[in-house]
Amino acid sequence: MIECLRPGVSAERARVVLFDFDGTLSLIRSGWVEVMVPMMVEILAELKTGESEAELRAVVEEFVGRLTGKQTIYQMIALAEEVRKRGGTPKDPLEYKHQYLALLWEKIKDRVAELERGDAPPEKYLVPGSVELLESLKERGLKMYLASGTDQIYMRREAELLGLTRYFDGGVYGALDDYKSFSKAILIQRIISSAEARGDELLGFGDGYVEIENVKQVGGVAVGVATDEPDCRQVNEWKRRRLAGVGADLIIPNYIERDQLLRLLFPQ
């Protein structure tokens, strides 16, 4: 099912395509929210403010959702601020990030090992139809970039395991320790300033509102990928609302209806 929020939208002029990684193409880290949110709720609950678990969960879910798509460190900075607001002394956000990554690794290590051993095909951990769409975009001669809020050292390895790296001739970019030196917005500005493409020649795909907002701010066309992980067979309504709210032109649950999607984006 493809929902067109802006009838007549066209990416006919697109020269560059920007993809988010986790939840947009890769499902290796599917379930990360169920790791991050409980960890943060537990940290805030230790401050014994009298707030219920449900109240703390609502606070955490709001800022985690709002910052999805940005580098992970920003969610940890927000956690530190919430600890401070409640009279606690927060750890360095980097410590929180390492704590989270250690917990997440326990959840995903078997998936990574499966791929490394060749026991699972990459398709098992890809949003359905990903490779076919990338092939089609490549055939159109579009230059493609992959950008993620996940640490570059990890996401580059995961992109390689999924067989995706070869499609992204523009490069594969992730979060750096110096988190202010890279973001999706910075990458977009770099593309524009180097004259690779104007803003209206940019096509973006993402399941987080950050990348959709970044693409729309420069006049590009944005496809909101409202994946309901891990099956990705229907639209996730929570993602859909957020993606539509920042101007997504199209909403899709996966790339299975690739031909229809391409006809909408490239009507000529």
pLDDT tens per residue, range 209-225: 889 999 999 999 999 99
Number of separate domains in the chain: 2
Do 54 and 154 fall into the same domain? no
Do 202 and 220 fall into the same domain? yes
Whole-angstrom distance, CA of residue 26 vs CA of residue 18: 14
Which of 73, 97, 117 is the C-terminal boundary of a domain? Answer: 117
Do 169 and 234 fall into the same domain? yes
Q: In what order do the strands lie in the sheet with 221-225?
A: 3-4, 250-252, 221-225, 202-206, 16-19, 143-151, 171-175
Which of 75, 91, 117 is the C-terminal boundary of a domain? Answer: 117
Do 23 and 101 fall into the same domain? no
pLDDT value of residue 83:
98
Do 224 and 168 fall into the same domain? yes
pLDDT value of residue 181:
78
Q: Whole domain around residue 70: which residue ranges?
A: 33-117
Which of 58, 88, 117 is the C-terminal boundary of a domain? Answer: 117
10 Å CB burial of residue 86 (0-12, 13-18, 19+) is middle
Q: What is the pTM of this model?
A: 0.91
pLDDT value of residue 194:
80
pLDDT value of residue 195:
67
Residue numbers of the chain with a pLDDT score lower than 70: 195
